Structures are given as structure tokens and as C-alpha cells.
């Protein structure tokens, strides 16, 4: 016969209510009591039924997390911040990824709603004009965005435009004038668009002409031959590249080395994200650093406050929370002389 919560309560010597709290909100139970209940659960091989709680209309203490991918460590760092706090406060996470595909985003939201999540933490392509977020607003499902740079919706991010502006200003301060930005498809990322605006602002303030972002395949492990040729051939090739994220910067560095360019002697590289693995590269990657784990933690705290009815605590706080960024001056940036800037050496590229 399958053991019930009543059996666990009798075995442990506590009330059913105490056992229920030990299962659903362990942080609220005395450690000695919690240990006794858990021993009884193990002895009886009791398995709480999440479905049963849902059917009875009880709180699920389940939070949905929707991320574009886990291949980019940025999102893994955010998830770690969320998970550490959620577990400590008796919540469970249900994770889905979307690859920035609208249909997958819809499927993820519908699936999580079917599981009666109490709220969502997510990253989408374009927060300001996203119809699925409008639907969530109408449905009253609470959510907080991560990394999406918007003032219209609950979100936690850095100021992507300002951060990119300061990063490109750092390249300019090292003497670079021909600076090109590389990104994935701008339509797939409101962050990348804000970062390009910051790049353009820095260039214009320095009296330089900004170029359109060079859009590349975000999921590719290699630069295409045409992109590599664009970066390395010709007398007016760029002397510095601003990559819209660190993972792309690493792909670029790999491609440039295969084209026989030395970094930073022949080309300076600046990334964006501040991934710890960037400091393990040779040379260490210069980057505009976002506090990714802290963004996840802050998103969780803001969502929890809304879910538990304590959002009035943030009544004086803007809907969008902006965390500080920083600059990491890695060895992938070198100063350039005026002579090198105006008459760059021709590059021999292997076919």
C-alpha cells in the first residue's frame, strides 16, 4: 500500500500540517523536526505528489525559468544565482530553453502555465514589443525579465548602451579609429541593439563614423570565410573589434588566429559579459562585465516579492532594475600608433 502523508505524520510523531510544511517550506521548520520528518519519509519511501497538490489548488512553489540557451555561460551564471536562492527558500525551478524562437517561447510559456508555476523568470528577444509578455500581463501571471534592457516591464539588467559606450571609449583611448562591432542578428536581441547604439555614440563623440554591426551566425563555432575575409583583408580593415558577447569574441579570436593574425598586435578584441573563462584565455579577454549571477539573484528576489505579496517593499523602486557594469582591461587590447592606424600592413591570408 502506498504510504500517505498521514502515515508519515504518525511515524514521525508530528501533525500532518507540520509534515506538510517540512515538505513544502523546509526553511520554516525547526532543523530537528525537519530531520525527523525526513527520516520518516525515507523509512516509508514516501513520495509527495506535486500533481495532487496542484489538483487540490494548493500552492505549487514552482517557478518557471525560460532562457534562450545554456550554451552561453551568461545564462548558466544567472540560473545558478536563481537556483541557489530558490532552493534555500523551498521553491523548485522548471527550466526551458528557446533559442530565441517565438514558437518555442510560446510553447515554453504554455507548458509552464499548465504546470501552474507561480511566476516566471525569463529572457526574450525583444521585451518592449513582445506579444507573449502582453498576454502574461493580461493573464496576471507574474514575471521578471533578465538582461532585457527595458523600462516598460519588470526587469533586471545593466545599462547596455552605457556599458557598450564606455567599452568602445576604452578602445578609442588606446588609439583605435577603425572599430567594428560584431553581433548576432540584431532583431533577435534587444541587448545587442542597445550595445550597437552605445558603440555608435562613442564613435560619433570621437568624430568617427560608426559602421553598421556585422551580423554573424550566433550559433556557429566558426566564422564563415566571407566574414573572416571582411575582417582581415584590405588596407582599411578594422584594427579593433567590439563583439556583442564574450562567446562571440572567443569564436572571433579563433578565426583570426587561423588567418595568421596575432592578438592584440594585429587586431584588438573587446567582448561583453565578463565571463570568468575569458580570463583563462591566452591572451586574457578584455570585456565589458555584467554581474550575471547577481542579475539572476536580483530577478529571483523581485519575483519572490511579487509572488508572496510583498512587492510594496519595492514601491519606490523603478520597474526596471539596473545593476552596475565594469570594464575588464584584458590583454586582447593594445595601443595603436598613428602610423599603424593610417598605413596598416597588408595581411597574408591562407586560402
Tens digit of pLDDT for each residue in 40-55?
988 888 876 554 444 4
Quick one: pLDDT band at residue 165, thresholds 50, 70, 90?
A: very high
Q: What's the CATH number for 62-157+292-323?
A: 3.40.50.2300
Higher pLDDT, 32 or 58: 32
Mean pLDDT to the nearest integer, 91-106:
91
For residue 30, the tally of other CB atoms under 10 A from its CB is: 10
CA-wise closest residue to 314 among 333, 292, 299, 295: 299
Q: What is the Cα–Cα distance from 246 to 81, expressed in whole angstroms? A: 20
Examine the pLDDT at 209 and tell me if it is beyond 80. Answer: yes
Residue 344 has pLDDT above 70, yes or no: no
Q: Does 3 have pLDDT greater than 90?
A: no
* Model confidence pTM above 0.85: no
Buried b (16+ CB within 10 A) or exposed e, 252-263: bbebbeebebeb
d(CA 225, CA 71): 23
Read off the pLDDT of each residue in 49-64 and give the average, rounded to a whole number.
Answer: 64
Give start-end residues of each CATH 3.40.50.2300 domain in the chain.
Answer: 62-157+292-323, 160-290+328-342
Yes or no: say if 135 and 235 are a contact pair by the CB < 8 Å rule: no
Beta bridge partners of 286: 270
> Which class is 160-290+328-342 in CATH?
alpha beta
Say whether pLDDT at 313 is over 60: no
Domain limits, CATH 1.10.260.40, in the chain: 5-48
Q: Quote the pLDDT of residue 166.
A: 98
Q: What is the pLDDT of residues 248-287, one digit of tens each?
A: 999 999 999 999 999 999 999 999 999 999 999 999 999 9
**Residues 270, 249 contacting (CB under 8 angstroms):** yes
Is residue 151 within 8 A of residue 317, CB to CB? The reply is no
Instruction: Name, in order, each residue with C-beta under 8 angstroms of 186's C-beta and a sequence gap of 6 or more.
Output: 192, 193, 196, 213, 215
- Give the CATH class of 5-48: mainly alpha
The angle at the Cα of 278, spanning 273 to 282, to the nearest 5 degrees, equals 150
Amino acid at each position: 500500500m502506498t504510504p500517505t502523508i498521514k502515515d508519515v505524520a504518525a511515524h514521525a510523531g508530528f501533525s500532518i500540517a507540520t509534515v506538510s510544511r517540512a515538505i513544502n517550506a523546509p526553511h520554516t521548520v525547526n532543523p530537528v523536526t525537519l530531520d525527523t520528518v525526513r527520516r520518516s519519509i525515507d523509512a516509508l519511501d514516501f513520495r509527495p505528489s506535486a500533481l495532487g497538490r496542484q489538483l487540490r489548488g494548493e500552492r505549487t512553489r514552482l517557478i518557471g525559468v525560460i532562457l534562450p540557451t545554456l550554451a552561453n555561460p551568461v545564462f548558466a551564471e544567472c540560473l545558478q544565482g536563481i537556483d541557489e536562492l530558490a532552493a534555500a527558500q523551498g521553491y523548485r525551478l522548471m527550466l526551458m530553453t528557446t533559442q530565441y524562437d517565438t514558437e518555442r517561447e510560446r510553447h515554453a510559456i504554455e507548458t509552464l502555465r499548465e504546470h501552474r508555476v507561480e511566476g516566471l523568470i525569463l529572457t526574450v528577444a525583444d521585451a518592449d514589443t513582445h506579444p507573449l509578455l502582453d498576454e502574461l500581463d493580461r493573464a496576471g501571471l507574474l514575471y521578471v525579465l533578465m538582461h532585457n534592457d527595458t523600462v516598460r516591464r519588470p526587469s533586471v539588467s545593466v545599462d547596455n548602451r552605457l556599458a557598450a559606450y564606455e567599452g568602445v571609449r576604452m578602445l578609442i583611448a588606446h588609439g583605435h579609429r577603425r572599430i567594428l562591432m560584431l553581433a548576432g542578428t540584431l532583431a533577435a536581441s534587444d541587448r545587442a541593439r542597445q550595445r550597437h547604439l552605445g558603440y555608435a555614440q562613442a564613435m560619433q563623440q570621437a568624430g568617427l563614423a560608426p559602421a553598421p554591426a556585422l551580423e554573424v551566425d550566433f550559433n556557429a563555432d566558426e566564422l564563415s570565410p566571407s566574414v573572416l575575409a571582411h575582417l582581415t583583408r584590405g588596407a582599411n580593415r578594422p584594427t579593433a573589434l567590439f563583439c556583442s558577447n564574450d562567446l562571440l569574441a572567443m569564436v572571433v579570436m579563433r578565426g583570426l588566429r587561423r588567418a595568421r593574425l596575432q592578438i592584440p598586435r594585429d587586431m584588438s578584441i573587446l567582448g561583453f559579459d565578463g565571463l570568468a573563462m575569458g580570463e583563462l584565455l591566452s591572451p586574457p579577454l578584455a570585456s565589458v562585465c555584467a554581474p550575471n549571477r547577481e542579475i539572476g539573484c536580483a530577478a529571483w528576489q523581485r519575483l519572490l516579492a511579487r509572488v508572496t505579496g510583498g512587492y510594496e517593499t519595492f514601491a519606490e523602486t523603478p520597474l526596471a532594475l539596473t545593476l552596475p557594469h565594469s570594464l575588464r582591461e584584458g590583454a586582447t587590447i593594445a595601443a595603436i600608433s598613428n602610423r599603424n592606424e593610417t598605413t596598416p600592413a597588408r595581411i597574408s591570408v591562407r586560402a
